[in-house]
Amino acid sequence: MTRAALLVTHTGRRDSTEHARTVARDLIAAGFEVRVLTEEAGPLNLPGLTTVTGPGAAEGAEIVFALGGDGTLLRAAELARPAKAPLLGINLGHVGFLAEAEVGDLEQAVRDVVARAYTVDERLTLDVTVARDGEVTAQSWALNEVTVEKGPREKVLEVLVNIDGRPLSRYGCDGIVCATPTGSTAYAFSAGGPVVWPEVEALLVVPISAHALFSRPLVTGPTSTIEVVVEPYTVPAVLSCDGRRVFDVAPGSRVTVSRGGLPVRVVRLHPRTFTDRLVAKFALPVEGWRRGSREMREPGLDTS
């Protein structure tokens, strides 16, 4: 049976296109059917590729390669998730927190995939529904986060947050972030939320610039249901899922967020603790500034 891989990349960047060609050639040489999205096939300009389109692009694929930054990986996740195909991110961007490998690991990553020398983790996702007057107006999902934010930038959004059917607090704010552990290092982190290890099953609620006495980020259980009620007297809001799927939310709407019914399967090529990944991606000062201070105070050192 022919092995198949879907290749998703950022063809707007020349280096990304070249790296994608390298991966495609190596996979084809190993006997893989290499699929690419129709709109990306032209820039790749490589014989032997199978062009695909639509949400079923990854159906039956053994693996999905995402070559680019976190935006490319999130785009690839939209195709990998319904097909339950493992997703392998190769970072060609800046931070690339979701990626498993860097560009220097590219050839080894392909060899590991060919040899099936990898494991697969499941990442918790979010399902979200928007309803108004009992009618569903939008439904979607997210790997990183769901945000409910004010539409007019000069206004304040008034919301009520309920947890498990019970009222928690009202906020005048720029918005509310509901995030997964995977998304804890993304928008939620920038809004002041905690970093949560990926294997921890939890949901995060992080108010954005809330004008309230209680505006701390919250960590709930994975079975909790979070409801953000956009007050009927406030401004229109915008719902964003991973920054990719965006919906208008009218005043009086209820946005319900819960654990997703379908996870995203993520490839792991080699054992590496999340602590090491966190230190590397955020360039954390493991040594700290105090070590330099101690050295400067040691006898015999010229501190002038």
Residue 303, pLDDT score: 46
**Structure tokens of 198?**
């990926």
Asked if 26 is an active-site residue, the reply is no
Residue 304, pLDDT score: 44
Phi, psi of 138 (to 5 degrees): -160, 150
Q: Is 7 helix (H, G, I), strand (E, B) or coil?
A: strand
Q: List all residues 6 or more positions away from 67 whose beta carbon is below 8 Å from its beta carbon.
A: 7, 8, 9, 10, 16, 19, 20, 23, 90, 92
pLDDT in tens, 249-264: 999 999 999 999 999 9
The C-alpha torsion from 236 through 241 and 244 to 247, rounded to 10°, is: -30
pLDDT in tens, 45-70: 889 999 999 999 999 999 999 999 88
Phi, psi of 55 (to 5 degrees): -65, -15
Residue 261, pLDDT score: 97
Q: Are strands 175-179 and 63-68 parallel, antiparallel or unpaired?
A: unpaired
Domains in the chain and their CATH numbers?
4-123 (3.40.50.10330), 126-259 (2.60.200.30)
- What is the rounded CA–CA span in Å between residue 260 and residue 124? 7
Tens of pLDDT along the chain (304 residues) come to 889 999 999 877 777 889 999 999 999 999 999 999 999 988 888 899 999 999 999 999 999 999 998 899 999 999 999 999 999 999 887 667 788 888 888 999 999 999 999 999 999 999 999 999 999 999 999 999 999 999 999 999 999 999 999 999 999 999 999 999 999 999 999 999 999 999 999 999 999 999 988 899 999 999 999 999 999 999 999 999 999 999 999 999 999 999 999 999 999 998 888 999 899 888 888 887 666 555 555 555 444 4
- Scan for tokens 């014989």, then name that residue: 47
Of the candidates 79, 11, 86, 1, which has an alpha carbon nearest to the alpha carbon of residue 46? 11
- What is the rounded CA–CA span in Å between residue 16 and residue 40? 11
Catalytic residue among 26, 70, 174, 242: 70
